Structure 1
Amino acid sequence: MSKTLIIHSSVHGQTVKICQHICQILQQAGEQVDLVSLNDNPDITDYDKVLIGASIRHGKHRPELYEFISRNQSQLEQKQNGFFAVSLVARKPAKNTPETNPYMQEFLAKTTWKPEFLQVFAGNLDYQGYGVMDRNIIRFIMWITKGPTDPNTQIEFTPWDKVDEFAQQFHQSRQAA
């Protein structure tokens, strides 16, 4: 039985929700899975597999994500590993793959870690769930990108079938001995 660690870096909770979904799929497939926050500075030593999910906040991944990867890169590379990014820009068909998503490309350019499994998922837009500053910033970004700007909007853009497929791929692949 694989021992898997899923680490989330989430601001508004959609990345946690995606991680919980992946966790359930892996557990149903017989894996032992722990889900922890990046804020808890998890120890990855005792795990066979590590998956990191990180959201985008105001166009960037959190600096703590890069610091964690830098500190743990050697161990990450010795395990089956993966990374996925969650952003609203991934709601657009031309930006919903690791190759076409600007945030994933920026992430890959800023780190020397090359995850075995990569994916991007669209997030959740919930204006009422944001503070005043975030709400206005996100509405402005949505206006620029021709997205929904009504302050009562709440849309989950996450493609759950794509999340399921990614979880199955992560489960089915085994690290070479």
Structure 2
Amino acid sequence: MAKALFLYSSREGQTKKILHYIEEQLTEFECEVVDLHTATDIDFSDYEKVLIGASIRYGHLNKKLYQFIAKNQSQLEGNKVAFFCVNLTARKEEQGKDTPEGSAYIKTFLNKSPWQPKLIGVFAGALYYPRYSWFDRTMIKFIMSMTGGETDTTKEVEYTNWEKVALFADKFKKL
């Protein structure tokens, strides 16, 4: 059975949840899911495909993602590797914020990253107010009030469009 490597950088777990959903779509692959923050010396040649998922927090991808890319750039260039970003802005599908072309975060990523993935996805994340620290809850509520989002801090809201994730999984299979 072909092997796929799934690497993730996630704060609250939605990115990992999305990877597990994609794993369910790839029945012909044995998938290994690894936290990018703890990954060391990975040999990409052991895998038919590699998928990296990362979440945005306060407008930025985790710096460990960029460190991982710098360390593994030659392997990333030479393999069937895709990338997706998870953020709350992508919930605004009608504004195109859920596309690589319409995502400010993807534009920033592509400007900062020496690696330019051939396949890129953008998915809306989830809002987990009750799980956040007081500071994060307050800051995220403020950001959501400015952007027309949910501000009830007793709620957990999942914005992920699973149909869109399934379409991305199909493109990843064909990569």
Q: Same fold (TM over 0.5)?
A: yes
How many residue pairs get aligned? The number is 171
Shift of 1:48: 2.3
1:8 and 1:62 map into 2 onto residues whose CA distance is 11
Question: Where does residue 24 of structure 2 map in the other structure?
Answer: 24
Q: Match of 2:162?
A: 160
Q: TM-score, normalised by structure 1?
A: 0.93
Q: Which residue of structure 1 aligns with residue 70 of structure 2?
A: 70
Amino acid at match of 1:38: L
Q: Are the counterparts in 2 of residues 128 and 151 from structure 1 also a CA contact under 8 Å?
A: yes
| Mapping of residues 23-172 of structure 1, within 5 Å | 23-26=23-26, 28=27, 30-42=28-40, 43-45=42-44, 46-93=46-93, 94=95, 95-172=97-174
Q: CA shift at 1:137, angstroms? A: 0.8
Q: How far apart, in 2, do the equivalents of 1:51 and 1:58 lie?
A: 23
1:44 Cα deviation after fit: 3.5
- The answer to whether the 8 A contact 1:123-1:158 is kept is yes
What secondary structure does 1:3 align onto? Answer: strand
SS in 1 for 2:47: coil
Unaligned 5+ residue runs, structure 1?
none
Aligned AA (2:64): E
Percent of paired sites with the same residue: 46
* CA distance in structure 2 between the partners assigned to 1:83 and 1:60 by the alignment: 15
Q: Secondary structure at the match of 1:113?
A: coil
Could you list the structure 1 runs, at least 4 aligned residues long, displaced by more than 3 angstroms after superposition: none
Q: What amino acid is the match of 2:133?
A: G
CA distance in 1, matches of 2:166, 2:143: 29
User: Structure 2 length normalisation: TM-score?
Assistant: 0.94
